[in-house]
Structure 1
Amino acid sequence: MSSTRHRLIQLLVDTAEKDAYISGQQLSDQLGISRTAVWKHMKDLEHDGFGVKAVPNKGYRIEQFPNTLSVNAIQWGLTTKWLGQSIIHKQTTTSTQFTAHEAAQSDAKHGTVVVANEQTAGRGRLNRKWQSTKDKGIWMSIILRPKILPHLAPQLTLLTACAIAKVLRTDTSVDAQIKWPNDILINGKKVVGILTEMQAEQDQIQYVIVGIGINVNHTDEDLNDPLTERATSLYQETGLTWSLVQIIHRILDVFEDMYEIYLKQGFKPIKILWEQHAYRMNQLIRVTTHHHSEDVQFCGIADDGALLIEQAGDVRKIYSAEIDWDEKQDVAAAHEYGPPTVNEASD
């Protein structure tokens, strides 16, 4: 988004909050553009679904907000300082991850967000298919350029899960739980997948891309594929239709706050929050390593993101194993978790 459009939207936000109007001349003066250019910007907003009211001798005000995604719709009312200040929007793309990689390699700045109405080749860990129904969910990738060592990058997956779980719990009142390392479940069914990929040198990260897929307004018909029998949506769980834009706003707000806490205080506060929302925390799970199975207690995560298990008072980390969370869940391979790279990721 251009700086002029960004400033225009901010002026209109401020005006709407005051329940007032702002004249075309005031917008022209403050933005340093012509009255004709102001009019064209307002028409662009109308095209994106904004209800723009123009009153002679008073000016403009926004009275209706769009229900569909666009750069303007997402930028409207976004209160973050750096996250999402640059937005790339696609009506349709193969994958927001692919688009984000292209942007990152073309020097897209830290905090750039890629959003699509539809993905035709959405993917998760190990290139598993992610069903991305048009206009029903949030398909989004965040470009980060963190000044942390590459081996700490998996912590960003866990941080993202915490941010989303917090938003779902506080804003939709669902009991969102994080299934190690990166799925979010409601009533044992997957509603969110997180895909983290990284481009790095030995001791320096060039960029990290955090991909987020959320089933929001999917109906039973949208999720009737056998591949999605363990999936759910916010609509299915609450019976309510949710604004994609408002959920994106909240996720970006909470993610930015948590990210800054992480940079200042390290991983400890994130670890505490993650464990508070962890699926089957302090319960028995079955772990299989080298053809040997044992029932152990899941007791948390280590600072490097590894699974912590306890048996007979002995706590140890798990990096490589098959985990049977319960009789209803698919077996998950713990060895799929590790430092994210361009070709190895977590969904």
Structure 2
Amino acid sequence: MENLLSLLRKEAGRVVSGALLSRALGVSRTAVWKRVNRLREMGYEIASSPSSGYRFISAPDLLLPEEIRYGLKAGTFTGKIHYLERTESTQTIARDMARQGASEGTLIVADAQSRGKGRLGRSWVSPPKCNLYFSMILKPDVPPAWIPQITLVSAASLCESLIKETGLPVRIRWPNDLWIGEKKAGGILTEMSADMDQVNYVVLGAGINVNMTRDDIPADLQETATSLFLEAGRTFSRVALFRRFLQGLERDYAVFCKHGFIPFRERWTALSMTIGRQVRVGMPQREIQGLALEIGEQGRLRIRREDGTIEEVVSGDVTVMEKGR
């Protein structure tokens, strides 16, 4: 199917004869016709004429493997892509596949989730055909202590890709949330399996509110959640956003595996909505408040408390106490 698409796209806007496609693919003209009809069923717009052939017109905004790969160089994240119309959670499926030995770079993408997962055991609202929901399997040859930093690196990659593709002022709330203004537009979740000195696998998942309307957002979240569509007043191609992210992550992941978080520290800080603001950080046993000073070389959030003491936070639920920035 991908080979047929490539041939039609290569001549986009021009008619390609059934005979030419038949020879190029090594199949009968009837088989070509059946494949074209299958592509139409998937949402591709392809014009045809019995006397002339087929003409590619447009592709659907579906997160199909063929669409994700189109225009991307072969790399870590373009090999094994699994598309699901609906699933409970891409994170759960990716974790199960990782346990069964799935290779690095395996991607699970879905059009809808019934039990989307967020940080700290929270759910992620996942309506169909409007947002990005995906999880990927990573197997970095790095110390287990580095793994929390993958969240920060991927957040920077995703934030930058959204800014470039949409022009919106997307920012990161430490460690993993993507916000526009004072509303959340996306988030990243990482889960790890490791021994004392070796990482077995990491499952990195994300949900991005792309084309959600106000009616798609539950009433109790409308004051704190938003989407790219709501902020820009126009829809965006989920496929284009995802391709842009994969391009950036391919580069950033390779750098991270060699050098850790340090090369990303300045980039992350420039994208942060947390640094320089008064914050409250909730942790399992306690809560602290203070001024978020900086992100450390290991990705920890450094906070100056009211008594002047400096504390480094490894993980926690951050609330920004003041608006602005």
Change (3 A) 1:61 1:299: farther
- Give the percent of matched residue pairs that are identical in Structure 1 and Structure 2: 36
CA distance in 2, matches of 1:291, 1:276: 29
**Alpha-carbon offset, residue 234 of structure 1:** 0.7
* Residue 6 (structure 2) pairs with residue 10 (structure 1): yes
Partner residue of 2:232?
238
* Cα distance, 1:178–1:9 mapped onto 2, change above 3 Å: same
Matched letter for residue 42 of structure 1 = V
Q: 2:191 aligns with which of 194, 197, 218?
A: 197
Match of 2:320 in 1: 325
1:135 and 1:150, CA in 2 relative to 1: closer, same or farther beyond 3 A? same
Matched, 1:157 2:151: yes
Give the 3-state SS of the residue equivalent to 1:272 in structure 2: helix
Structure 1 runs (4+) greater than 6 angstroms displaced? 288-292, 311-314
Q: How does the TM-score come out when normalised to structure 2?
A: 0.86
Counterpart-to-counterpart distance in 2, 1:288 and 1:134 = 32
1:100 is paired with a residue whose SS is helix
Matches within 5 A, 1:1-347: 5-16=1-12, 20-55=14-49, 59-227=53-221, 229-286=223-280, 295-296=290-291, 298-310=292-304, 316-319=311-314, 323-327=318-322
Deviation at 1:210, TM superposition (A): 0.9
Give the corresponding residue for 1:338.
Answer: none
Q: 1:129 to 1:293 in 2, by over 3 A?
A: closer
Alignment gaps of 5+ in structure 2:
none
Kindly tell me the number of residue pairs found equivalent between the two proteins.
Answer: 322
User: Residues of 1 paired with 2:287 and 2:108: CA distance?
Assistant: 43
Aligned residues of 1:13 and 1:76 also touching (Cα < 8 A): no
Of 281-290 and 114-123, more deviation after overlay is shown by 281-290
Task: Check whether the contact 2:277–2:321 (CA below 8 A) recurs between aligned residues.
Answer: no
Structure 2 vs 1, CA of residues 50 and 157 (structure 1 numbering), >3 Å: closer, same or farther?
A: same
Instruction: Provide the C-alpha distance between the structure 2 equivalents of 1:292 and 1:130, rounded to a whole number of angstroms.
Output: 24
SS in 2 for 1:229: coil
Deviation at 1:202, TM superposition (A): 2.4
1:48–1:70 CA contact under 8 A, matched in 2: no
C-alpha deviation, 1:136, in angstroms? 1.9
- Which letter does structure 2 place at the counterpart of 1:220? R
- Cα distance, 1:201–1:43 mapped onto 2, change above 3 Å: farther
CA shift in 2, pair 1:22/1:86, >3 Å: farther
The worse-fitting range, judged by mean Cα deviation, of 231-240 and 27-36 is 27-36
Distance 2:66 2:119 in 1: 31
Alpha-carbon offset, residue 252 of structure 1:
1.5
C-alpha spacing 1:279/1:32, structure 2 compared with 1 (3 Å): same
RMSD between superposed Cα atoms in Å: 2.9
- Alpha-carbon contact 1:46-1:52 (below 8 Å) kept: yes
Report the Cα distance in structure 1 between the residues aligned to 2:281 and 2:57, rounded to whole angstroms. 56
